[in-house]
Amino acid sequence: MTAGRAQEGTSVLPGNLHVAEDCRAVSEVLARIGDKWTVLVVSTLGDGPKRFNELRKALGSISQRMLTLTLRALERDGLVTRTVFPTIPPRVDYALTKLGGAKVVLATVTNAPAMAATIGGLGARGELVVLGAPMDPMEVSGVQLLMTSRSVVGHPSGTSKDSEDTMRFAALTGIRPMIETMPLADGAKAFDRMMSGAARFRVVLTMS
């Protein structure tokens, strides 16, 4: 047997094997939805909302602790919605999350966390278009994008031609901006509000 040949029945991986970033993202999703109980819970909820005990009865051999952990993980990842009804005793239903949400979010803020927070509001195949230019990195998990085929893209803007086209389109279609107004004397406060991402969605200074 030569040094480069593996022993019969043994699988040998090359020493320089590496996992690309895309593969890591896919692996993360498969790790989330690939285990036995997650698949069975999602499949069972495909028939409609169910209570905890109904789920446990339908799944058979799952323990209470394992079902609780599985439901919490699915709820955390946005795949399952938990609804509490104000009855006595309280009634809790679990259901698959509906594929609603925005088709496009135009992010003009310059606050990376504020931009990242909008991803959860995107629907299936929704797109976050980054128009602002935050200096900090924007944190996005692979699960957020891959589960519902969401995407994040950048688009340069700000030229006078862009402004003219935008104003013309807004006048043609009746679009009005959502802004906040503050007096010129509060310019510093307005700037801080914009930079924090708290403004909805632009602050306009007034002379009066």
pLDDT tens per residue across span 126-158: 888 888 888 888 888 887 788 778 899 988 776
Q: Residues of the chain with pLDDT > 70: what percent? A: 81
What's residue 94's pLDDT?
A: 92
pLDDT at 46 over 90: no
Q: CB neighbours of 14 closer than 8 A, spacing ≥ 6?
A: none
In the structure encoding, which two tokens stand for residue 63, read together?
């323990």
What's residue 93's pLDDT?
A: 92
Average pLDDT of the segment spanning 164-184: 87
* Buried-exposed string 74-98: b where 16+ CB fall within 10 A, e elsewhere: beebebbeeeeeeeeeeeebbebbe
In the structure encoding, which two tokens stand for residue 4, read together?
């480069």
What's residue 90's pLDDT?
A: 83
Pairwise pLDDT comparison (98 vs 131), residue with the higher score: 131
- What is the distance between the alpha carbons of residues 165 and 109, in angstroms, rounded to a whole number? 20
Three-state SS annotation for 15-52: CCCCCCHHHHHHHHHHHHHCCHHHHHHHHHHCCCCEEH
